[in-house]
Chain A
């Protein structure tokens, strides 16, 4: 006899339920909405060494430098900490690596040796809009309106990434982590992600292949990392502000406060 959810079941039933867990892991990949600041696992495509093939593996979103030794150091690196003198040392946000900083110290080796692709069906960005309050005056803080951004003609597309194994010497465990590459925003993303004017580097087939397999020069790496998918190939839909809790998170919403997007 075995226990499933603390209820005694036969071994056959237990094995069937465990098989169902595998189906769900598969289903979840299709439906999942991944939030960067959860630092969760995410499917990533990387080349298989010495072959022209790829494998889809799960890695933790949030690039970690290889020098970290334990969970405590990871926590300090990501969320900051107070040093011995009580001074607050700010943490690093490494979910995204900007194309401009890709050949800088922390990301350089990964950009040269460990490039990957992150499969996606769409991503979310928030437009910041100054709105008028009940008093008739502009509110101090802008309101944030979420958008789902997809490609018009591609159900799945690939975002350039870099990955890094982090070997924790204390537990002797390796955590594979990755960062998404971001480029300056195109004209559509400038309207949506108007606070930072950045967008993920979405690669068409030939550049995706080069990113994975080719022995790229520094300039090639920067050129591909800076690639901007054309505005005309993208489509953005405004979503409910609480879309993550909605029954249908991708149901489009019309906001009268938000200017209409221009696709040129």
Chain B
């Protein structure tokens, strides 16, 4: 199982709170580990059937779809 840490961890803000985020490269994809209220949450940018990107938690968790979307947006904001 290949994975490597990419860069330093960084903070993202969501709904007034700060969360620490660490990027990983796993199987040639970027994976973001977020310390989210005491649990480790993983999100990645995936592509839908029309090759339009969306953010999803890994593993999939329907209840966290909105959170994944919002965290993903904050990660993109951090890098832009």
Contact = CB atoms under 8 A, between A and B. Distances in A.
Are A and B co-members of a single complex?
yes
Interface of A: 1, 4-10, 13, 16-17, 19-24, 26-28, 31, 244-249
B62 A23 contact: no
Interface of B: 1-3, 18-20, 24, 26-27, 29, 31, 33, 35, 37-38, 40, 42, 44, 46-49, 54, 56-62, 65, 68
Nearest to B38: A245
Contact of A17 (B19, B58, B62): B58
Contacts of B48: 7-9
A236 B66 CA distance: 39
24 contacts: A1-B49, A4-B60, A5-B61, A5-B65, A5-B68, A6-B62, A6-B65, A7-B54, A8-B49, A13-B46, A16-B29, A17-B56, A20-B44, A23-B3, A24-B42, A24-B58, A24-B59, A26-B3, A27-B24, A27-B33, A244-B38, A245-B38, A248-B20, A248-B35
A21 B29 CA distance: 12
Contacts of A5: 56-57, 60-62, 65, 68
Contacts of B68: 5
Nearest to A19: B27
Given A1-B49, A6-B65, A27-B3, A20 B35 contact: no
Given A5-B65, A9-B48, A13-B47, A21 B3 contact: no
B69 to A, nearest CB: 10
Contacts of B46: 4, 7, 9, 13, 17
Contacts of A9: 46-49
Chain B CB within 10 Å, residue with most, of A16, A17, A20, A248? A20
B53 to A, nearest CB: 11
Contacts of A26: 1, 3
A17 B59 CA distance: 8
B59 A16 contact: no
Contacts of B61: 5
A20 B58 contact: yes
Contacts of B49: 1, 8-10
Nearest to A22: B1
A154 to B, nearest CB: 23
A158 to B, nearest CB: 23
